[in-house]
C-alpha cells in the first residue's frame, strides 16, 4: 500500500499547480497520471489564458463577458473570484519559467494579447499557438524534479476510498503496466482528472478524457451539476488521419472567416453574419450550432475556415503549430482554407465545489475541468479554462495547508479483492460497448437535442450500464473497462440533466423547448450514495 499526505489524481495544469504549491510548503504529494506525466489535456490547449493586462480593459469587463457567455447560469461570485486572480496566476507561471509571447511593439517585456470569441477586449495571454504545451511541459518538469512530489505514471484510479467517518482516505490505483491494483492512502485527495468529452464519437480531447473523476466522485456521494452543458468546439480539423486536431479559436480572433464550400470545393459564401452580428467572434455555442445547421441543411461533411487574406508571414508567425501540422497533411493554410467540423471539447459541468475547491466529501477536492465551480455556467468563455485550473489549483492548496495537520493519516486500507473475478476472453464486449455508447451520444445528445432523442439515449444507457456492471463484477479490471464504466456513468448524468432542463440555454439546445426560462437554475444531481442509485 502506498501512502502520502495529498494524493492528486491527474497531471494537467490544475493538478500540477496544486502539487507544486503544496510541495513548496513541505507537503508530501503523489501525482497520478494515466500516461506520461505531461500527457494530459492541458498539453493540447492552443489558444491561451484570459487575464486582464490591457490598460483599456478591466476586471468588470472580463466578468461581464464571462456572464454573457454563461447565459445566466454563472455564479457571479465565482466569476469575480477567478477573474481577479488571473494576472497573479500569469505572473506565477512566468516565475516558474513559462515563456509567453511578448508584444513586439512593447520591447520592455509586455505580454502579447490576442482576442477570442465572446471577449470584448484583447486579454488572452499565449505562447504562440501552443500555450498548453508551454504550461504543461514547464510544470511537469518542475514536478518531476521536486523532492516532495512522487509521480506515478501509467496508473489509473479505479475508485475513491472513503472512510467510515465520511472522509476521503485515498484511492485504488491500477498499475497499467503490470495490471496490479493497490490501495494508496492519503490524508486528502484532489481530483484533477479533466473532463468527459470522450463520451462523444468526435472529440478534440485526448483519449483519457473519460470522465473518471466525475464518475468516481458521484459514486462516492458527491453532487454533480450542469452536466448537460457540453461544449462543442466549432473548429476541429476534418481529416481522416487527425480526427482530434483543434484549430484554435485564436484564428477567428485574428480574422479567419467561416465559409461554405462552393461548387469547386473552395471557400465560398461566408455564413456566420446570418446567425449572429458578432460573426465568427460569437461565443462557441452559437458558432457550433451555426456550423451544425449549415452542415445538416446542405448535407456537408465540413465547412471551411479561411485565413488566407492575412499575410503569409503573419500566419506562420502567429500560428506555427497549426501551420506545420496542416502542412504535413497537405494543407497550406496561407493559401488554402481549412476543412473543419465541430467536436466535443469541454465539460462545463462537473463535481460541485465551493470557492475553496471542496466537494461534498470531507477531504476530497476537485480542480479544473472535473469541477463545477460556477465559473462557466451554461457555456465556457474562451480561454477561461486554463485560468480556472490555475486559480482553483491554488485555492485547493491554500485551503489544504492549514487543514492537513488536523487530519491523521488513515490506517491500513482494505486490500483490493480479486478472488472472485477471472480474466476475460471476450474483450470485444468492451470495445463494442465503447463504440456504441459514443455513437448514440453523438447522434442523440449532441449539439441539437430533442426529448425523444434523449429518451432513446437514456434507454440505451440503462441497457449498457447493466451489461457493463455485470462485466465489471466478474472480470479483472483493465484501463478500457474502467474508462467505459466511467463513461456510461457520465453519459447517464448528462442525459438525466438534459431531460430535467425544459428550455434551451447556452450549450443545451433542444428543439422541443427553443426558448429560455426567465429564471435560470443550475441542474444538480445528488451523489449515488445519497439517492440510493
* Residues known to be catalytic: 284
Q: How far apart are CA 57 and CA 120, in angstroms?
A: 9
Nearest CA among 506, 390, 487, 490 for reference residue 45 = 390
Exposed/middle/buried for 75, CB within 10 Å: 0-12, 13-18, 19+? buried
Please tell me whether residue 226 adopts helix, strand or coil conformation: coil
Q: How far apart are CA 36 and CA 457, in angstroms?
A: 34
Please tell me whether residue 483 adopts helix, strand or coil conformation: helix
What is the DSSP pairing of strand 303-306 with strand 257-261?
Answer: antiparallel
Please tell me whether residue 282 adopts helix, strand or coil conformation: coil
Nearest CA among 150, 401, 115, 438 for reference residue 282 = 115
Residue 334 contacts residue 315 (beta carbons within 8 Å): yes
Neighbours of 79 (CB within 10 A): 24
Please tell me whether residue 431 adopts helix, strand or coil conformation: helix
Q: How far apart are CA 527 and CA 222, in angstroms?
A: 5
Q: Residue 169: enclosing H or E segment and its boundaries?
A: strand 168-175
Residue 68 contacts residue 118 (beta carbons within 8 Å): yes
Q: How far apart are CA 371 and CA 392, in angstroms?
A: 10
Amino acid at each position: 500500500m502506498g501512502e502520502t499526505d495529498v494524493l492528486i489524481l491527474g497531471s494537467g495544469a490544475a493538478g500540477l499547480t496544486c502539487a507544486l504549491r503544496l510541495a513548496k510548503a513541505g507537503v508530501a504529494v503523489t501525482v497520478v497520471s494515466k500516461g506520461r506525466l505531461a500527457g494530459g489535456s492541458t498539453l493540447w490547449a492552443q489558444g491561451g489564458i484570459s487575464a486582464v493586462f490591457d490598460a483599456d480593459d478591466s476586471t468588470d469587463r472580463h466578468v461581464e463577458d464571462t456572464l454573457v457567455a454563461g447565459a445566466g447560469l454563472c455564479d457571479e461570485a465565482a466569476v469575480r473570484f477567478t477573474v481577479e486572480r488571473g494576472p497573479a496566476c500569469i505572473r506565477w507561471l512566468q516565475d516558474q519559467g513559462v515563456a509567453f509571447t511578448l508584444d513586439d511593439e512593447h520591447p520592455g517585456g509586455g505580454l502579447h494579447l490576442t482576442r477570442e470569441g465572446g471577449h470584448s477586449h484583447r486579454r488572452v495571454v499565449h505562447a504562440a499557438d501552443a500555450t498548453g504545451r508551454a504550461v504543461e511541459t514547464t510544470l511537469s518538469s518542475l514536478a518531476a524534479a521536486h523532492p516532495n512530489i512522487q509521480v506515478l505514471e501509467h496508473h489509473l484510479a479505479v475508485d475513491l476510498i472513503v472512510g467510515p467517518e465520511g472522509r476521503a482516505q485515498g484511492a485504488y490505483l491500477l498499475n497499467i503496466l503490470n495490471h496490479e491494483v493497490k490501495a494508496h492512502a492519503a490524508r486528502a485527495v484532489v481530483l484533477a482528472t479533466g473532463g468527459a468529452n470522450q463520451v462523444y464519437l468526435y472529440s478534440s480531447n485526448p483519449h483519457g478524457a473519460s470522465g473518471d473523476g466525475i464518475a468516481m466522485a458521484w459514486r462516492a456521494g458527491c453532487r454533480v451539476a450542469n452536466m448537460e452543458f457540453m461544449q462543442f468546439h466549432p473548429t476541429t480539423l476534418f481529416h481522416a488521419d487527425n480526427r482530434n486536431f483543434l484549430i484554435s479559436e485564436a484564428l477567428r480572433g485574428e480574422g479567419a472567416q467561416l465559409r461554405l464550400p462552393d461548387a469547386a470545393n473552395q471557400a465560398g459564401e461566408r455564413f456566420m453574419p446570418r446567425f449572429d452580428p458578432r460573426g465568427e467572434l460569437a461565443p462557441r455555442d452559437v458558432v457550433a450550432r451555426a456550423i451544425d445547421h449549415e452542415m445538416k441543411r446542405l448535407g456537408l461533411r465540413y465547412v471551411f475556415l479561411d485565413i488566407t487574406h492575412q499575410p503569409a508571414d503573419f500566419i506562420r508567425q502567429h500560428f506555427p503549430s497549426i501551420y506545420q501540422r496542416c502542412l504535413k497533411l497537405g494543407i497550406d493554410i496561407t493559401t488554402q482554407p481549412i476543412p473543419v467540423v465541430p467536436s466535443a471539447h469541454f465539460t462545463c459541468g462537473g463535481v460541485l465545489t465551493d470557492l475553496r475547491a471542496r466537494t461534498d466529501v470531507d477531504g476530497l477536492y476537485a480542480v479544473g475541468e472535473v469541477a463545477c465551480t460556477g465559473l462557466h455556467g451554461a457555456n465556457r468563455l474562451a480561454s477561461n479554462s486554463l485560468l480556472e485550473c490555475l486559480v482553483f489549483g491554488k485555492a485547493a492548496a491554500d485551503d489544504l495547508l492549514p487543514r492537513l495537520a488536523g487530519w491523521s493519516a488513515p490506517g491500513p486500507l482494505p486490500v483490493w479483492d480479486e478472488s472472485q473475478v477471472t480474466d476475460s476472453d471476450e474483450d470485444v464486449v468492451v470495445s463494442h460497448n465503447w463504440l456504441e455508447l459514443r455513437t448514440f451520444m453523438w447522434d442523440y445528445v449532441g449539439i441539437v437535442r430533442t426529448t425523444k432523442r434523449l429518451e432513446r439515449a437514456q434507454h440505451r444507457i440503462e441497457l449498457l450500464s447493466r451489461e457493463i456492471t455485470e462485466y465489471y463484477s466478474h472480470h479483472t479490471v483493465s484501463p478500457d473497462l474502467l474508462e467505459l464504466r466511467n463513461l456510461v456513468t457520465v453519459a447517464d448524468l448528462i442525459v438525466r440533466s438534459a431531460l430535467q432542463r425544459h428550455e434551451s440555454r447556452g450549450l443545451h439546445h433542444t428543439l422541443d423547448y427553443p426558448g429560455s426560462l426567465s429564471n435560470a437554475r443550475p441542474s444538480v444531481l445528488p451523489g449515488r450514495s445519497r439517492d440510493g442509485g
